[in-house]
A = this chain, B = another copy of it.
């Protein structure tokens, strides 16, 4: 099942830069793993913002949630979640 998630990252200014860099490196590794597994199907940057648009392909909302809270930057994000399904005019199963 597909979900679109918009993630906006808000870095508190008082956060130690070294700690934040470490978080970002772990986030990157986690994001790459999830993409390789096929669960994080698309990951795009929103131009001009510290934000992304992602498409997840997961078993259900429970798996999406586990995946989201496993992200090291999750505590610094606001998210919008949209459940998607096949469009009658889509020419492929996705």
Contacts and interface: CB of A to CB of B under 8 A. Distances in A.
B65 A47 contact: yes
Interface of A is mostly: mixed
Number of copies: 10
Interface string A1-33: 111110000011111000000000001100110
Interface of A: 1-5, 11-15, 27-28, 31-32, 35-36, 42-49, 52-53, 55, 60-62, 64-65, 68, 75-76, 79, 81-92, 94
26 contacts: A2-B44, A3-B48, A32-B91, A35-B90, A35-B91, A36-B91, A42-B55, A43-B90, A44-B87, A44-B90, A45-B65, A45-B84, A45-B85, A45-B88, A46-B82, A47-B65, A47-B68, A47-B81, A47-B84, A48-B65, A61-B84, A62-B86, A64-B85, A65-B85, A81-B83, A83-B83
